[in-house]
Amino acid sequence: MPVLSSVNLEQQDAQQFRERNQQLAIAQDAGVVLRADQKASPLLRHDWLRSVEYSLERDPASALSRYAALERDRAALNGLQTLEIGAMSRAEDMVAETKCLAEAVYYEARSERKSGQLAVAEVIMNRVKDHRYPNTVCGVVYQGATRTTGCQFTFTCDGATDRAPRGVRWEAARTVASHVMMGLNEEQTRGATHYHATYVNPVWNSGLVRTRQIGTHIFYRFPRGSEWAAASAKQSQRLAQRR
């Protein structure tokens, strides 16, 4: 008896489904605008289809055609993710970019508090968004590393990388890098694209606008609007003093 009951139930479901499809096809052909009935029961009683039918019937934007079964199956399949080559490539790029950012944080600010490490990472991300710099993290971090004119970040050309990053500080740098790559950090350098340690006073800082000091680093950004004139004059004066 249980087996016969199950068979009968499935037959009833199939019949109701066919009738429902016919009604939908007739309505579609007649130009009737279909709207969801919030009290309607799912077309099939199978649990795995309940959410499918819910999204199919209750979505006012869905246009049900006479091929409702096909639409139902498509709705189910749309929720499945497929492995795409493009997605794999982006994932690999993300791993490489995060590693470059972590290396910069480690070599440039591993002795800083977390706020100082986040600030260094933020400068790099600000450069990525600035048209004056490469548009990738690795491009920004290692810009000029192979040029005789010098590198942008000291660790990339002073031999520091001969000693591979390791230990808890490396893990901390990787955590900071991941945090920033996901955009979870709060802005704190006020748009800075440059920084230097407090114990040096490079000539280039005279042509920039100081934003703030965080830990042992002082941060700067490019001048804006009317600030350019003052910054240019200040830098010219600084250069003249060196002659």
Q: Pick the residue with more confidence: 19 or 203?
A: 203
Residue range 195-202: average pLDDT? Answer: 96
Whether the CB-CB separation of 35 and 43 falls below 8 Å is answered with no
State the pLDDT at residue 177: 96
pTM check: above 0.75:
no
Q: Taking all residues of the chain, what is their mean pLDDT, rounded to a whole number?
A: 79
Instruction: Classify domain 88-188 by CATH number.
Output: 1.10.10.2520
Instruction: Tell me which amino acid residue 38 is.
Output: Q
Q: Which residue has the tokens 């400068």?
A: 123
> At residue 228, does pLDDT exceed 70?
yes
> At residue 40, does pLDDT exceed 70?
no
State the pLDDT at residue 147: 75
Measured between alpha carbons, how far is 126 from 130 in angstroms, rounded to an integer? 6
Residue intervals in the chain for CATH 1.10.10.2520: 88-188
Instruction: Look at residues 201, 193, 210, 204 and name the one whose alpha carbon lies nearest to residue 235.
Output: 204
Whether the CB-CB separation of 174 and 154 falls below 8 Å is answered with no
